[in-house]
Each structure stands twice: as structure tokens, then as C-alpha cells.
Amino acid sequence: MDTGPLLVVLLIAIALIVLLIVKVRMHPSLALLIAAFFVAFVTRVPLDKIIDTIEKGVGDTLGFLTLIIGFGAVLGKLLEVSGGAQRLAQTMLRVFGKQHATIIMALLGLICGIPVFVEVGFVLLVPLVFVVAKEAGISRLKIGIPLATSLMVVHCILPPHPAATAIAGTLHADIGTVILLGLCVAVPSVLVGGVLFAHFAIPAHDPALIKDEEGGMGSFDEESEKKLPGFGITLLTILLPLLIMVTRTISARMLPSDILAMKWINVIGNPISALTIALLFAYWSLGLNKGFGLKQLQEITDGSFGPIGGILLIIGAGGAFNAVLTASGVAPGLAKAFSHLPVSPIILAWLIALILHFAVGSATVAMISAAGIVLPMLAANPGLSPAILALAIGAGAIGLTHVTDSLFWMVKEYLHISVPQAYKTLTVGTSITSVIALGVTLLLSLVV
């Protein structure tokens, strides 16, 4: 098919996904699968190849991600039940002072958001927003928005988050490189789009300062603090998988690939191995070390897997959709056409993810779909780093968080604000963050 019809097919498929998710209220996984069948039928993929293509797309995607998502969910649950997040907040308040509450909550989101989904992270940390707001004497909105923004950035940019890891796998980008470059993107983006935006755009004092009965945890006290895990051990537990994966990337650039030590490092530094090691360490540091019994740890583990079923289906269906786009010729054909446009492929990747996030609402769906569309651009642009393209997609999926995104409604309800307030704060804040992330990614592309 020519480029024009291919573009029409893609636009109709995206419109179909949006219609099914937003209007029909269909689960995104089913909407993606229906769109995959639509593309396959319209582009005349051989009937005996359609199911094989879908199965391969699901298998190739989930085969890599299932254990990562599952172990990450358990790690996040241990962080919640052990009080590790509360310990981090208390220590940072003590060290940096109440006057830096917005920075503290942004940092807390960047750190605690690593092992959990953005929605789970917000639910986990929002009680601390109430407490920190009361301790600092400022409005919950002023520190709640930097928290939500930082969680969104981690969700979209930093592996081992499922969406970030999935697109890194789709684009064949080195995970450690994505983490290192992602940190370079995440920190300035959150500081500008989260902290500075909140500082200048959100009043420090509104008519409703946080009260305990409005959803907080009460004030921090020394007695409860003694029961919490230590700051250092909590921080190490959260960062351990990243440290292991980054060590693998750095070692690969310093050591010959054929020596035994490097082969061991490759095994240990694989995301699956890294999460396994981190989880085993967390069982001790946040569990056994704090008095949890083996039966309690088993119950925590079992209870962590239920909530991830939906995300596994979405990611698997996204893999199927991407596989059909490739097999049908839609993605390669459009990539070839895009390569002749006088626009950077980095900006195109960002724009595609931004539009998809605005339309669909799910950053995960937007990122996985965008990755399938832009994958052939790598072949058309041999000098383009896959890690940079992955970051561009993640940066786009951060922006335009509005009524189609569940995070929008969570922020509105938990912080007790109106829809216009949510638009003026969360939507604007995430959009600024998205633009800053794109800018930093473009700068990094000059040296990577």
C-alpha cells in the first residue's frame, strides 16, 4: 500500500482505540486487540498469519516483562507495608528542612516511584502529602503536584518501570543506558515542571490546609519512627536493581565481552536477575529485618500480584498491536515516509506519544503504541540512538495528562480540588515537564 492509505489505516486504528476506551469504556487490552485485527484485515495480512503474528507479539513482549512487573509489584508492596516511604519522608524533612517541602516530595516521587506504578505510587505517598503539608504549613496542592509529576516522569522514562522497559526492549535499547540517560532527563524535568512550576504557579497558602481528618496520617512522632526501617537500607533496597543494571552497562564499555567476568556480569545485570536479587534483599531489609514472618511475606507477595493483571494484559495486547503494524507494512511504510520529513525523528517520536497519551489516557498504551510506529525509524536513521528514541517517547507520554488519564482523577479526588484546578496544575505541570524532557533529550542526542 502507498503511504497515504497506510496513514489512513493507522489513524483509523488509533481512533478506534480511543473510541473503544473513552466512549465504550472497554478495557485497553481488548481495544488494542480489536485494533490489531482491524489493521490485519484491512491491510490483507494472510489469514493464516494473523494469529501467529498476534501470539508472537504478545509472547515477545511479555516474555521479557512478566517477571519484572511481578517482582516490582512485590517490591513496591514491601515498601508500603514496612513504612519505608514514611522513613524517607521523615529523614528528608529533617535534613533539608520544611522550607524545601516541594523538593522533598518531588525527590520522594523519583525514588519511591521506581518500583511501583504511577497510580500505586500516588496512593502510597499521598498520605505523606497531608502530613508534610501540615508540618510545613503550606497547601497540599503545592507539594502534591510535584509528587504526581515526578511519579509520572519515573513511570514514563526510567526502567525497570514496565512501559519504559517495554519500549526499551522494542527499540533494542540497552536498559542501563536508558537508566543513565533517563536520570539526566528526569531530574531537570521534575525540577522545572514540578518544583519550579509549583513554586511560581501554585499559592503556598490556600483556604484548606491539611488536617488529620482529611486523609493524613497524623504528625510524625518519635515512637512510631523507631519501628520504621532505616533510611539508608530503604534507599539501597529501592535503588539496588538500578545499580545492578547500570553496573552491567558501565562494565560492558570497559571490559572485553568474551571474558568470564563479563559473562557473569551480563547474567547478573539482566533486568530479570537484577529484580530477583533486589526482591530477595527486600524480603530481608524491609521484611525479616523488621519482624515480618515468612507467612506474612508470603501473604504480601500473593497480594501484590492481583493488581498487575490488567497492566500485563495491556502490555501484551500492545505488543500484539505493534507486531501487526510491522507485519502489515504500516509501521515500516510510515517510517520511510517520515524519514523524508524535515523534522527530527526524536521530535516525531515525542509528538506521536504526546498525541496518543492525550487521546487514549494511558501513558503505557501511548508509549507501547508509539514504539511500534517509530521502530522502523531506527533503520532509516542509523546514527540515532535507540535509548534516545525511547526517552523521546517517554517524554511525550508525560504531557497532557487530563480527563482520559486515571492519574488526573486520582489527583483531583485525593487532593480535594476541582476539575479546572486539576487542569491548571497537573495538566499544565506535566505538559511543561514533557517539553523540558524533550529539550534535554535533544541535547543528549548531540553527544550520544
Q: What is the pLDDT of residue 258?
A: 87
pLDDT in tens, 247-296: 998 998 888 988 999 999 999 999 899 999 999 999 999 999 989 999 99
Tell me the three cell numbers of residue 27: 478495557
**What is the Cα Rg of the chain in Å?**
22
* Cα 430 to Cα 33, 152, 182, 396, distances in angstroms: 29, 8, 16, 10
- Which residues does 335 contact at the CB level (< 8 Å), separation at least 6? 373, 374, 375, 376, 377, 379, 380
Helix extents (H) in 283-399: 294-305, 309-328, 330-338, 345-360, 363-374, 377-380, 386-398
- Report the alpha-carbon distance of residue 143 to residue 141 in Å, rounded: 5
What distance lies between CA 148 and its chain's CA centroid?
Answer: 12
Q: What is the pLDDT of residue 342?
A: 80
Percent of the chain whose predicted confidence (pLDDT) is above 70: 94
Half-sphere exposure at residue 251, Cβ-oriented, CA atoms within 13 angstroms:
20
pTM: 0.81
* Phi, psi of 339, deg, nearest 5: -65, -20
Look at residues 116, 119, 108, 106 and name the one whose alpha carbon lies nearest to residue 361.
119
DSSP state of 374: H
- Report the alpha-carbon distance of residue 63 to residue 71 in Å, rounded: 14
Are 355 and 399 contacting, i.e. CB atoms less than 8 angstroms apart? no
pLDDT in tens, 171-217: 999 999 999 999 999 999 999 999 999 999 988 766 543 444 344 44
| CB environment 368-399: b (16+ within 10 A), e (fewer) | bbbbbbbbbbbeebeebbbbbbbbbbbbbbbb
pLDDT at 341 exceeding the cut of 80: no
- Report the alpha-carbon distance of residue 141 to residue 129 in Å, rounded: 9
Are 182 and 391 contacting, i.e. CB atoms less than 8 angstroms apart? yes
